[in-house]
Amino acid sequence: MAPSIRLSPAARSLFDEPLAIVVQGLAPRQPVTLRASLRDETGELFQACGRYQAGHDGELDLARCPALPGGSFSGLEPMGLLWALQPQKPFWRLVKRDVQSPFVLQLEVLEGHGEPPGRLLAQAQHERAFLRDGMRRVPVREGRIRATLFLPPGNGPFPGIIDLYGSGGGLPEYRACLLANHGFAVLALAFYAYEDLPKEMKEFHLEYFEEAINYMLKHTQVKGPGIGLLGISKGGDLCVSMASFLKGITATALINGSVANVGAVLRYKDITIPPLGINTKGIKVNKSGIADIIDALNNPLEGPDSQSFIPLEKAECRFLFIVGQDDHNWKSEFFAVEGSKRLEAHGKEKPEIVCYPGAGHYIEPPFFPMCAASMHLFIGKCVVWGGEPKAHCEAQIDAWQQIQAFFHKHLTGKPSGTSSKL
């Protein structure tokens, strides 16, 4: 019997779903190397490999066989070939630009543990998709809004969420559509560097975000009376500002967000919140020319910088802070704790704070490989994001469950039966 790879699901799975990988037809105890390859839409190659030894029956099940030292990961890691993918081009981050097409994963079984490994024994292809069958993707160009709405299959109405990314700008859709697969109506909202929106991050007007909230609240497929907000990085503090000043928000989840306004002036009617000051002396650059910016921001509790602290005590919603304790973009845990203190001091309910040791800044949906360092558009150089790959991967899986449970609880009143594993 020739070696072959058996996958479950067989041909196609959603990107945030686990994939079971089994190799059959090997010799008893045969040493092999498994290699995974994936090209992003720009053609850049990501690869990972694991060194294994088949069982006595010639079968190799990644859920039961630990990877041996010497590959991209070791130990019992059924999804190691996905989360350990690394770009062949340094400082390149895996993102999905067109959610309507899947990523294609190539799997190879190679003889032995050599460098390079031996001859090819078996190979398989698998599609990692972003849209569930029946999912509706609706480009939104209403008034000033530049966005994409994802609606699950079925009649609805569905609990509604607005999803914001960070200072990279543009209109990333992949997290919004993966979340919509779980029964939410999710609006991926662009706020700069997209179509006719401002090209640079100089100032933001909350009236733009208010338009997006009103669009969602009026939509026949969105269940009221309020909606949720989900933001990472700069998108996080924009969500805090939206929740603090605008009506119709029931639940706000932040992934490594700030409770101070960062990077650009924020305006709403006659209110102006200045950005938190930056101390460039706090930026450390290592021998490779990569910057560590964790100490670059001023303290929003001191002096004139306290003007940048967002008055989140005005918010009428529940908060969830997802914190990577090895975030090197900024002090996410400090922001979460200070936000909590501010809410409690004003008699508001404590936010949920979920901390992940060993997780860096970019906590993405499950199975995205950790990006240790890449270009920071706002800083204008390569920065370190923090994180340790295995811990970061585990954080992504758990945080994804936490976020869904939080929104289910506060937008539908139903728990989804999720508890933290970490």
Would you state the structure tokens that stand for residue 256, as one six-digit string?
A: 């490594």
Element holding 110 (H helix, E strand): strand 103-111
> For residues 13 and 38, what is the distance between their CA atoms, to the nearest angstrom?
15
Residues 36 and 38: their CA atoms lie apart, in Å, by 7
Q: Is 374 helix (H, G, I), strand (E, B) or coil?
A: strand
φ, ψ for residue 3 (rounded to 5)? -60, 145
361 is catalytic: yes
What Rg do the C-alpha atoms of the chain give, in angstroms? 22
233 in catalytic set: yes
Does residue 51 contact residue 31 with C-beta atoms inside 8 Å? yes
Q: Does residue 9 have a cis bond before it (omega within 30 degrees)?
A: yes
State the Cα–Cα distance between residues 49 and 91, nearest whole angstrom. 19
- Is position 74 annotated as part of the catalytic site? no
From the candidates 244, 327, 374, 392, which is the catalytic residue? 327
- 120-129 vs 103-111, strand pairing mode: antiparallel
Let me know: does 111 contact 40? Beta carbons within 8 Å.
Answer: no
Q: The tokens of 332 are what?
A: 């996410």
CB 218 within 8 A of CB 54: no
- Dihedral Cα 232, 233, 237, 238, nearest 10 deg: -60
Residue 237: Cβ-neighbour burial (10 angstroms; 0-12, 13-18, 19+): buried
Choosing from 72, 167, 233, 332, which is the catalytic residue? 233
CA angle 44, 187, 92 (to 5 degrees): 15
- Separation between Cα atoms, residue 324 and residue 364, nearest integer Å: 11
Candidates 207, 228, 299, 314; CA nearest to 262 is 299
**From 182, 219, 328, 361, the catalytic residue:** 361
Question: Which of 202, 140, 195 is closest to 167 using CA atoms?
Answer: 202
Give the helix/strand (H/E) hosting 318: strand 318-324
Handedness of CA 116, 117, 118, 121 (dihedral sign): negative
Catalytic (active-site) positions: 233, 327, 361
